Structure 1
Amino acid sequence: MDPPYNTGQEKWVYNDNVNHPKIKKWLGEVVGKDGEDLTRHDKWLCMMYPRLKLLSKLLAEDGVVFVSIDDNEHSSLLLLMDEIFGKNNFITNFIWQKKKGGGNDSRFVAIEHEYVVTYAKNKKDLEKWFLPYDAKYLKRYKEKDDKGMFFWDTFMRASGKQYYPIVCPDGSILENDKNGDPLSWLRSEPRFKSDLEKGEVRIIKIREEWTVHFKQYKSKGKKPRSILNNIGTNSDAKSSLYDIFQEQKVFDYSKPFDLVSNLCSIITKDNDIILDSFAGSGTTAQAVVHLNNQDNGNRKFILVELEEYADRITAERVKRVLSNEDFIGKKNDSTEYSFDFYELGKPIFKDNENLNEEVGEDKIRNYIYYTETKEPLKRPQSKETKYLLDNYQDTGYYFYYEKDSLTTLDNNSLGIITELQEQYIIYADVCLLDEAYMLNKNIIFKKIPRDIKRF
């Protein structure tokens, strides 16, 4: 996530759904500068806390959260993360170089870095992290055996300064280098002889000269560094957006997609889902697809953006990069990319916990059926089965609802049950049936709106 840094220059608006009267007064107000807005940091903390709390619930058990931030709220963010994720799940503060060459925009020193605060859901369960080797490095691995890929390299004049002659396959002695100086070796003579017998060492003639090659096994990758550089700057991100939107300036604070791609390459597997709850210009989508094209992965992304530019900039960027390999790299011939864009609808419940009838009965019916079965409601409503949602696993689900009147579940209204099932779950406003009768008939009553599940 890349939330507002709360610099006092961003003009972000506190627009959360809150009930506390002291916080409600902030709604719709532009968050001002220090000195002008004494509650600026309070607003930021109140905005961040519920989002981080929700993300901690959504995060996979082996998941990791990365949060971009600068010095303005870095210390506050660490306190929030410690409280929500646990201090023992802190991994590191990645430091990345956001610009090069200093700058005149800082009063005292040129601020060239930002942070990526990193926490795990369960740090103790995480595997070790490795960054994959690049293609140029992997070309060094020419051979393969049952232990994996390896290459052969010459270790003459090693720092160990262990001197001994080597007998070559033709009987000649390899003892001095071209300058006549004694050859020194990385390994002791007994180990050299043992490795030679096991095939861990080869003595090979190349262009009429004998050379000694030692096997070096490839590891899973290289350890990621806590200081990230040479992966793009804010200036690179601005240039990239300029190219995508054909020389239009559309966004001020975009991150370089290489930064996000680099972080994702450390911790994600082929089929993982990456959620960005402050999507901004859509950098994460481009980063995920670019990474997929590099390693033939099948990662998916979910972007969330509450600002008015979500369709005009965020979704539009995704459309453009998916259709142009210049922005995401060459894709596999069998790969097809697509994405869906949704707008958040009206809430199912009003502030007084009653159903929000402006949503429409169809959406309410869909919502209730999903809360019960975790399946989408595909059966259309009909006159004959007006109150039936659908049958699922031998249970009939009924929503006995009328917009302009109360519904009562009694002996006279049992005719709403139109299809025989082993059990019935019926939502209604009131129930007058005897508990023993309902138990005998396998009927479960749920009161509208009290018993409708809230997420």
Structure 2
Amino acid sequence: MPTLHWIGKEKVINHHQEVPYKVLDKKYDYNLEEGEAPSGNKIIHGDNLEALKSLLPEYEGKVNCIYIDPPYNTGNENWVYNDNVNHPKIKKWLGEVVGKEGEDLSRHDKWLCMMYPRLKLLHKLLSQNGVILVSIDEFEHDYLHLIMDEVFGRSNRVETFVWKKTYGGGAKSKHIVNLHEYILFYSKDISTLEKIELPPDDSVLKYYKYKDEKFQDRGPYRLQPLATTSMDDRPNLKYPIVYDGNEIWPNKQWQWSKDRVELALKENELSIEWNEKKKSWTVNYKQYLKSKEGDLRGKKVYSLIEGFYTQLGTNRLTSLFGRKVFNFPKPVELLEYLLQATTKKDSIVLDSFAGSGTTAHAVLKLNQQDGGNRKFILVEMEDYAESITAERVKRVIQGYGEGSKAEVGTGGNFSYYSLGEALFDEDHNLNERIPLSQIRKYIWYSETRSSLSEEKAEDTSYLLGKQEDTAYYFIYEKDRLTTLDFETLSEHITERADQYIIYADNCLLPQELMTKHQIVFKKIPRDITRF
């Protein structure tokens, strides 16, 4: 597979492993009823590279859908959302990671250095049957395709959507009026990707106009020809259908096997009529609106997306805030369209370039429409994370606008976070200012690649948990050194297991005993796995 090379690539290709793990510091819960548990919706203010790393212990392999709208690297310095990798935070990061080479990087090189480690962490967070959608324009489209191929795999390309973003204009265009952008669509593992459809709308429902005795369970049906014009040579699809003593043969072949046709005849799912004018039989099958399991037949998703224009996004955000606060926000209708096709009612949706918060808006609206329980996680590094991103979500939840333009609130809640301190200090020792519960979560995740429950994280015992016949113990005290010896072994190591992973400051147990009982000692903190 062709790969893309750029200045600084060798410095960032594994940089996601070196990103410091920082804890998430909850600032407040919004719209949470007294005694109600948080919904799991999160808005995080901070650098998205560090935020993505901090999400791993809880969310690695669990995010069902990722949508990101990263900087397009157009060089336009005048936007509220600075669409250029010359942003001071990105320049500082490039200087630290890429070093002096970063001073000579072209804008494309800088952009690729910024994107690559973020895509690596997004890949880790995505579930096995999850999908990622990335908005981009023609300036970085080619480069993005190549690094997406490298991170997610060329075989996992699903489609490239062409989004018609505007319905006119172009007075200032010298050559061609550009009306479109792209949305790159990849899966984590395309072999596990389920059928992608939209709920049926009027353009689909108008064809389902017939009813029979199955209407109560299957809804109305439409008639579709059973004969096919396919040129495939399929002898098993060439056979007569016997009806009222007549043998009906296809001109070429049938779509269904003989066994399936016989079952359909038995269950009254074929419509067979004699056409007097053409002196021939017509054989149609009944395509019901609902499957036997009760699922609605969906609408096909096309690679060309029309009808959701940037102007809609601008107008909606202006109506939310009463003034213009953000340039060129994506229309919420576009995100609803994409999320309807790619999520289920209980999906976790992540947007690590959150901007004005359109993704959360779309998630809340979809939940309102279909009774779903989708969760959103937004990350925004700019200072407007609370004043625009979180504020928009608050207004969507509560409702906004007046009179004929009033929008009913969607309901829901979220928790607002900032990035806290790093778990390790500059000498790679544990930062003892970090709450013990956060340290326990990290240890468990680094060993098992799974998340530790809040109950276990807050537990005061040394036992973290047991997984696959291995018991994990973290013998740690902030005010004193701990020792794994015979006394500790008899008093605290009580879980029965085939193997034991035990963290402590020191170990006085003889090696023969440890080998016999499959005890692996790890010294705090230097043996803690860095991921």
Q: Verify same fold: TM over 0.5.
A: yes
| 1:241 counterpart SS class | helix
From 374, 385, 388, the equivalent of 1:299 is 374
Residue 262 and residue 433 in structure 1: after superposition, are their counterparts in 2 closer, same or farther (change >3 A)?
same
1:370-422, Cα deviation, whole Å (9 max, x unpaired)? 6567323547989xx7xx4446459573433446x7x3626598499558544
Asked if 1:221 corresponds to 2:298, the answer is yes
Q: In the TM superposition, what is the alpha-carbon distance from 1:363 to its structure 2 partner?
A: 3.7
Residue 72 and residue 278 in structure 1: after superposition, are their counterparts in 2 closer, same or farther (change >3 A)?
same
Say whether the 8 Å CA contact 2:462–2:473 is kept in structure 1: yes
Distance (whole Å) between structure 2 residues aligned to residue 257 and residue 133 of structure 1 = 19
Distance (whole Å) between structure 1 residues aligned to residue 419 and residue 373 of structure 2 = 26
Equivalent residue number for residue 240 of structure 1: 316
Equivalent residue number for residue 208 of structure 1: none
TM-score (norm: length of structure 2): 0.63
Say whether the 8 Å CA contact 1:422–1:442 is kept in structure 2: no
Equivalent residue number for residue 184 of structure 1: none
Say whether the 8 Å CA contact 2:160–2:182 is kept in structure 1: yes
Equivalent residue number for residue 323 of structure 1: 398
Distance (whole Å) between structure 2 residues aligned to residue 274 and residue 325 of structure 1 = 24
Distance (whole Å) between structure 2 residues aligned to residue 250 and residue 305 of structure 1 = 16
Asked if 1:149 corresponds to 2:225, the answer is no
Equivalent residue number for residue 8 of structure 1: 75
Asked if 1:73 corresponds to 2:140, the answer is yes
From 415, 424, 435, the equivalent of 2:511 is 435
1:251-302, Cα deviation, whole Å (9 max, x unpaired)? 2231011111111122222222221121111101111222233333332222
Alignment map for 1:180-219 (pairs within 5 Å): 200=271, 217-218=287-288
Percent identity, aligned pairs only, is 42
Q: Which has the higher strand share?
A: 2
Asked if 1:43 corresponds to 2:110, the answer is yes
Alignment map for 1:76-115 (pairs within 5 Å): 76-115=143-182
Asked if 1:450 corresponds to 2:523, the answer is no
| 1:60 counterpart SS class | strand
Q: How well do the aligned residues superpose, as a CA RMSD in angstroms?
A: 4.2
TM-score (norm: length of structure 1): 0.72
Q: Does 445-454 or 280-289 show the bigger shift?
A: 445-454
Equivalent residue number for residue 419 of structure 2: 344
Distance (whole Å) between structure 2 residues aligned to residue 329 and residue 108 of structure 1 = 41
Distance (whole Å) between structure 1 residues aligned to residue 352 and residue 491 of structure 2 = 43
Q: In the TM superposition, what is the alpha-carbon distance from 1:72 to its structure 2 partner?
A: 1.0
Alignment map for 1:385-404 (pairs within 5 Å): 388-390=461-463, 392-393=465-466, 397-402=473-478
Q: In the TM superposition, what is the alpha-carbon distance from 1:243 to its structure 2 partner?
A: 1.0
Residue 88 and residue 215 in structure 1: after superposition, are their counterparts in 2 closer, same or farther (change >3 A)?
closer
Equivalent residue number for residue 160 of structure 1: none
Say whether the 8 Å CA contact 1:293–1:330 is kept in structure 2: no
Distance (whole Å) between structure 2 residues aligned to residue 48 and residue 242 of structure 1 = 30
| 1:57 counterpart SS class | helix
Q: In the TM superposition, what is the alpha-carbon distance from 1:433 to its structure 2 partner?
A: 2.9
Corresponding pairs, count: 392
Say whether the 8 Å CA contact 2:441–2:452 is kept in structure 1: no
Residue 264 and residue 361 in structure 1: after superposition, are their counterparts in 2 closer, same or farther (change >3 A)?
closer
Gaps of 5+ in 1: 30-36, 156-186, 204-213
From 405, 409, 423, the equivalent of 2:483 is 409
Distance (whole Å) between structure 2 residues aligned to residue 365 and residue 63 of structure 1 = 28
Distance (whole Å) between structure 2 residues aligned to residue 318 and residue 200 of structure 1 = 51
Q: In the TM superposition, what is the alpha-carbon distance from 1:4 to its structure 2 partner?
A: 0.2
1:325-363, Cα deviation, whole Å (9 max, x unpaired)? 8899778xxx95222222221121234432233435564
Distance (whole Å) between structure 1 residues aligned to residue 318 and residue 203 of structure 2 = 30
Equivalent residue number for residue 58 of structure 1: 125
Say whether the 8 Å CA contact 2:397–2:411 is kept in structure 1: no
Structure number with bigger Rg: 1
1:76-113, Cα deviation, whole Å (9 max, x unpaired)? 10110111112122222211111121223444322211
Say whether the 8 Å CA contact 2:423–2:439 is kept in structure 1: yes
Gaps of 5+ in 2: 1-67, 77-82, 226-249, 255-264, 275-283, 290-296
Q: In the TM superposition, what is the alpha-carbon distance from 1:133 to its structure 2 partner?
A: 1.7
| 1:341 counterpart SS class | strand
Q: In the TM superposition, what is the alpha-carbon distance from 1:239 to its structure 2 partner?
A: 0.8
From 330, 347, 361, the equivalent of 1:255 is 330
Say whether the 8 Å CA contact 1:289–1:328 is kept in structure 2: no
| 2:417 counterpart SS class | coil
